[in-house]
Structure 1
């Protein structure tokens, strides 16, 4: 297996900046007048402002083309270039959304995942990896090593994982922290994240393989936690269900004041929501 390589990103420090020191000095020299308003909170950083650059090797390109071909096989009239790139992979996955509701989209991806392995794979997996701590930790390690081409740089973390029906937790190294998801960054779409990746992947591992998996994307910084061994909640109870579109990426999210908190949930997450 290849070791995950990624672009080096600058860390945002929490020390006192030059601007902050200037404001501090000013406040010491000139006491604030009674009733003066406090400075507004610092604007959130746009996670799309700095695009991550990937240099895919031959093995990465092989998997990109393989997955692209498997998705195209579920469609009609969608071709896969000989030298398929990650952008082609994202483009083809977006074609799945056309003319299908959210449930149908997830079903297509589930078929894609099933087509990547022999029919006997799920029962063999269940026999080899029952839902134990070892199975969760082992699969977390495999995921962190094998899916750099798909999601970017990641690391395995030890955290408290919910393993019981009544909220019982256990400390285990079965959390794959994706630092900045390549697919989410490239697609820029909440609906694609949920229906093309999160939900079908959770469902496939939990229902087909018998190993619970919960995926928690963070739409503030495009990171994501894959929690092996933890059962996912119903979609309607998941925070992603009410997640708005990306204000800087999606014309659906256009608003006069640009306040993301005032935006409605992304309509692509559940296309039948408005019909209920």
Structure 2
């Protein structure tokens, strides 16, 4: 929790200095399906991209060694996604998910999950608080989002987050990357490490996504997201002849 709090503090400080990222589209909204949304990333966003990319790079396939290691601020979103693709190479879906889990754990100080459990037991308040925190804190990763009302175990609460058009899915174009590198490990991390259930429901037709804090995720075999075919028109790794994205079967 200390790491999350410190990163949030850095995020807010840099934003006050005018380094806030935003959508560079004239409408101020994500581009329509079929078009790639343009973003104007600031220093803080590049730092986060670099931080995650360098952590993930330790799990990536070998590449030609660069003469000089990039600084955190020298990464852009495309290079962050490229590192994610290299992490997928040569790994089963379970190994991909475990790699992301290790990256997330490596960014936290010892004992952070236990501290999170004490501060945020699985209550309505904790679910709503984390939903509110998600909108500004993960804008750089998934794009614009908003808190929405959802129903969890028969109770209506504002612990849902609707991502308008997920930046990660839009840039990767890969169903397998969405599920194995984002959805499943994020659900697992919050549910099992932090003790706060989380379900993520990506919509592959419009690239939106709904996050529901407080709701336990379904088993992998019962999750509709794990039965999706490739996005053949935009994924460079797609297999159009397969009824399910091959990355979800391995």
Shorter-chain TM band: 0.7 to 0.9
Counterpart in 2 of 1:267? Answer: 246
Counterpart in 2 of 1:191? Answer: 176
TM-score by length of 2: 0.84
| 1:112-151 Cα deviation digits (max 9, x unpaired) | 0101111211000000000000000000011111011100
Q: Distance in 2 between matches of 1:178 and 1:103?
A: 25
Q: Specify whether residues 254 and 77 from structure 1 end up closer, same or farther in structure 2 by C-alpha distance, changes over 3 A only.
A: closer
The residue matched to 1:174 in structure 2 has which SS?
Answer: strand
Q: What count of residue pairs does the alignment treat as equivalent?
A: 224
Q: CA RMSD in A?
A: 2.1
Contact 2:96 2:180 in 1 (8 A): yes
The residue matched to 2:160 in structure 1 has which SS?
Answer: strand
Match of 1:84 among 54, 75, 85: 75
Match of 2:93 among 98, 102, 113: 102
Q: Distance in 2 between matches of 1:120 and 1:220?
A: 40
Match of 1:218 among 198, 203, 223: 203
**Could you tell me how far 1:169 is from its partner in structure 2?**
1.8
Q: Distance in 2 between matches of 1:151 and 1:76?
A: 24
Q: Distance in 1 between matches of 2:125 and 2:82?
A: 37
| 1:214-247 Cα deviation digits (max 9, x unpaired) | 0000000000011100000001100012111113
Contact 2:60 2:84 in 1 (8 A): no
Moved more, 130-139 or 78-87: 78-87
Contact 1:4 1:153 in 2 (8 A): no
Q: Which runs of 5+ in 2 are unaligned?
A: 1-11
Contact 1:4 1:145 in 2 (8 A): no
The residue matched to 1:108 in structure 2 has which SS?
Answer: helix
Contact 1:216 1:224 in 2 (8 A): yes
Q: Does 1:122 align with 2:113?
A: yes
Q: Distance in 2 between matches of 1:194 and 1:9?
A: 29
Counterpart in 2 of 1:252? Answer: 238
**Could you tell me how far 1:77 is from its partner in structure 2?**
3.7
Q: Does 1:52 align with 2:43?
A: no
**Could you tell me how far 1:68 is from its partner in structure 2?**
0.4
Counterpart in 1 of 2:147? Answer: 156
User: Which runs of structure 1 show a deviation greater than 6 angstroms over 4 or more consecutive aligned residues?
Assistant: none
Match of 1:136 among 118, 127, 142: 127
**Could you tell me how far 1:252 is from its partner in structure 2?**
3.4
Q: Specify whether residues 53 and 67 from structure 1 end up closer, same or farther in structure 2 by C-alpha distance, changes over 3 A only.
A: same
Task: Point out the structure with max Rg over C-alpha.
Answer: 1
When you count helix as a share of all residues, which structure comes out higher? 2
